[in-house]
A and B are shown apart, each in its own frame.
Chain A
C-alpha cells in the first residue's frame, strides 16, 4: 500500500519537455520518399560478400580472444576482451541468418557477463562456445545438427549459471 506523501520529505523534481525540433526538421509531405526499410534490406543484400568478410573477421577476433582467455581465465582483461568480441559477433548476427551461431553467441554472452564469475570457473565451456561458433561458420551443411548442439550447449550453460549464482548468492544480471 502506498503511504501518503509527506510534504516534509518532498524533493523538487524538474520535468522538462524540450521542443521536438527533430520531428520538425525531418517531417516531410513528399510522396516521393522511398521505403527506407526496403532500401536498407536491398543495400545489405548487395553488400553480402563484403559483410561476409566482416563476420569472418569478427569471429577470428573472437577466437583470438578465446585463446588469450584460455591462457589466463582469471584475468578480468581477457574476459572483458572476450565479452566485447562476443558482443560484436552478436551485432553482426543478423547478416548471416545463421540461427545456430546466434544461439551459441547469445549463450556465450550470458556466460561471459555473468556477475558471479562463471566463465572463469568453467573456461572449457567458454571455449566450447567459441569453437562451435567458428565451426558453424565454416560449415553450414547441417543446420539441424548445429541447432541441436546450440540448444544443448545453451542448456548446459544455463545450468552452470544457475549453480554459480546459487553458490555466490549474487543475482544474475
Chain B
C-alpha cells in the first residue's frame, strides 16, 4: 500500500452538527491533515469551495435547508463557479439502504461512508479516492463518477467496456443499457 503525506491534503467538512465536524476534524488532524475547512451549511460550503483550493469534500446527507444530495448536484453541475466539478465527495450518512446508496450515486457522490464515523472507515474512503479514483461519466442526464465499481473479470459475455475505452475517450451506449446501469 502507498504511503501518503496527509499534511498536503486539503479537506472541506460540511455538516450542520458542530460535534460531527469536530469529530471528523480531530480524526483528519490525527491523520496529519492541516488544511481543514468546515462549513455548517451547503451555502457556506459553496463559498469555501469558491475561495479555497480543496482536494476532498466530506459531507453529511441530512442538513437543512440544503441537504448533501442537493449540494453534490450543485458541485457536479460545473457551472463555472465551482473550480473543480471532479472533486471527490465522501458522503456521511446513517441511511444504509440500497435505495439511498443509489440516490447518492445518482447525485454524483464518489464514496459513501455509513455512520458511525470511525478512523478506519474514513481512512478507507480517503484511500479509495486517492488511490482508486473513479472515472467520470457525462451523459445527457448524468454527470458524476462512474457508478460501476464491480470487478468484471468474471464476466464472460461480449466486451462492452475496456476495449472501447482504451481506443477512444468517447463511446456509444444504447438507451436500454444506460437505463439498466
Q: Are chains A and B native binding partners rather than an unrelated pairing?
A: yes
List A residues at the B interface (Cβ < 8 Å): 2-3, 5-7, 9-18, 20, 22-23, 25-30, 33-34, 36-37, 39-44, 47, 51, 54-55, 57-58, 80-81, 83-84, 86-88, 90-95, 102, 105-106, 109, 113, 171-173
Residues B123 and A90 in contact, CB atoms below 8 Å apart? no
Q: For the complex, is B70 an interface residue (Cβ under 8 Å from A)?
A: no
In the complex, chain A residues whose CB is within 8 Å of the CB of B175? 9-11
Q: For the complex, is B62 an interface residue (Cβ under 8 Å from A)?
A: yes
In the complex, chain A residues whose CB is within 8 Å of the CB of B116? 90-95, 102
Partner of B93, one of A30, A37, A87: A87
Q: A14-B137, A18-B136, A40-B31 are in contact. Are A88 and B17 (CB under 8 A)?
A: yes
Partner of A14, one of B123, B169, B174: B169
Chain A interface, >50% SS class? helix
Partner of B30, one of A15, A25, A40, A91: A40
Partner of A16, one of B20, B99, B119, B135: B135
Residues B3 and A33 in contact, CB atoms below 8 Å apart? yes
In the complex, chain B residues whose CB is within 8 Å of the CB of A93? 115-116
Partner of B8, one of A2, A14, A26, A43: A26
How far is A11 from B140 in the complex, measured between Cα atoms in Å? 8
Q: A10-B172, A14-B169 are in contact. Are A47 and B26 (CB under 8 A)?
A: yes
How far is A86 from B26 in the complex, measured between Cα atoms in Å? 21
21 A-B pairs in the complex with CB atoms less than 8 angstroms apart: A5-B174, A11-B139, A11-B172, A15-B169, A22-B55, A22-B129, A23-B130, A27-B2, A27-B4, A28-B3, A30-B3, A36-B123, A37-B120, A54-B19, A87-B61, A87-B62, A87-B93, A94-B118, A106-B94, A109-B94, A173-B95
Q: A22-B55, A91-B17, A92-B19 are in contact. Are A37 and B4 (CB under 8 A)?
A: no
Residues A84 and B30 in contact, CB atoms below 8 Å apart? no
Q: For the complex, is B29 an interface residue (Cβ under 8 Å from A)?
A: yes
In the complex, chain A residues whose CB is within 8 Å of the CB of B137? 13-16
A17 to chain B, nearest CB (A): 4
CB closest chain-B residue, reference A173 = B99
In the complex, chain B residues whose CB is within 8 Å of the CB of A2? 157, 177
In the complex, chain B residues whose CB is within 8 Å of the CB of A95? 23, 116
Residues A44 and B174 in contact, CB atoms below 8 Å apart? no
Interface digits, B57-87 against A, CB 8 Å rule (1 contact, 0 not)? 0001111100000000000000000000010
CB closest chain-A residue, reference B172 = A10
CB closest chain-A residue, reference B24 = A91
Residues B20 and A92 in contact, CB atoms below 8 Å apart? yes
CB closest chain-B residue, reference A41 = B119
Residues A26 and B135 in contact, CB atoms below 8 Å apart? no
Partner of B2, one of A15, A23, A51, A54: A23
Interface digits, B1-37 against A, CB 8 Å rule (1 contact, 0 not)? 0111110110000001101101100110111100000
Partner of B170, one of A5, A13, A87: A13
